[in-house]
Chain A
Amino acid sequence: SQKIEQNSEALNIQEGKTATLTCNYTNYSPAYLQWYRQDPGRGPVFLLLIRENEKEKRKERLKVTFDTTLKQSLFHITASQPADSATYLCAMDSSYKLIFGSGTRLLVRP
């Protein structure tokens, strides 16, 4: 069955460094991947989308890559700030629905 996986361990980094989060998928070839941010006690908020024919997408300090050979997407936050601390979810399209990963928690230390 289609599966999307994220590292369940929290990522703990120093302010100013680049955070890199990984999303891997199996048994499917999604037309696009999405990344969401979720703060405690709140619903996810859409951040970025990347299509299968795009290698890289940027939005301010955020960068997403999509490697269809490795079946992987990387999500980067450059010059990270404590306010970037949150859980980040990736999602892939599947027959007009989204399948979500379980998320990776990012902690940015001041």
Chain B
Amino acid sequence: DAEITQSPRHKITETGRQVTLACHQTWNHNNMFWYRQDLGHGLRLIHYSYGVHDTNKGEVSDGYSVSRSNTEDLPLTLESAASSQTSVYFCASSEMLAGVDEQYFGPGTRLTVT
């Protein structure tokens, strides 16, 4: 069965460290997204990609970067982790059909920056 996976599921890191969160999907979807979820804010879009070598900034992109070298993967990098980036991170993928974008989410990565 097709799926979308994230790793690690939990990560503790120190302020200033570079961290990369992995996202891998086997749906063969063109679209991939990274969100963060915090209490009171819901899901906020960090970065997204509509295909290989395409990346775009979302609502809360400062301090984050992504690259898309193949269809299956969209790793999210925190260049220099800050305490404000403590959050739960979700990756999602979709294939726009008839103008509709139903998204499939991964299980999430809980990141703590100390």
Interface set of A (CB-CB < 8 Å, partner B): 8, 31-32, 34, 41-46, 49, 89, 93, 96-103
Contacts and interface: CB of A to CB of B under 8 A. Distances in A.
Interface stretch (B14-22, B38-46, B72-80): B38-46
Interface in B64-114: 90, 92, 96, 99-108
B105 A103 contact: no
B103 A98 contact: yes
Task: Decide if the interface of chain B is mainly helix, strand, loop or mixed.
Answer: strand
B8 interface: no
A8 to B, nearest CB: 7
B102 A34 contact: yes
Contact of A46 (B48, B58, B103): B103
Interface of B: 33, 35, 40-45, 48, 50, 58, 90, 92, 96, 99-108
A43 B101 CA distance: 16
B108 A89 contact: no
Q: Enumerate the 9 nearest inter-chain pairs by beta-carbon distance, A residue then B residue, closest first.
A: A43-B105, A102-B42, A100-B43, A46-B102, A100-B42, A44-B105, A43-B90, A43-B106, A43-B107
B24 to A, nearest CB: 14
Contacts of B48: 97
Given A42-B108, A44-B43, A46-B104, 19 more contacts: A31-B99, A32-B99, A43-B90, A43-B107, A44-B103, A45-B105, A46-B102, A49-B100, A49-B102, A93-B101, A96-B101, A97-B48, A97-B58, A97-B101, A98-B103, A100-B35, A100-B42, A101-B42, A103-B42
Contacts of B99: 31-32
Given A44-B43, A89-B42, A89-B43, A98 B105 contact: no
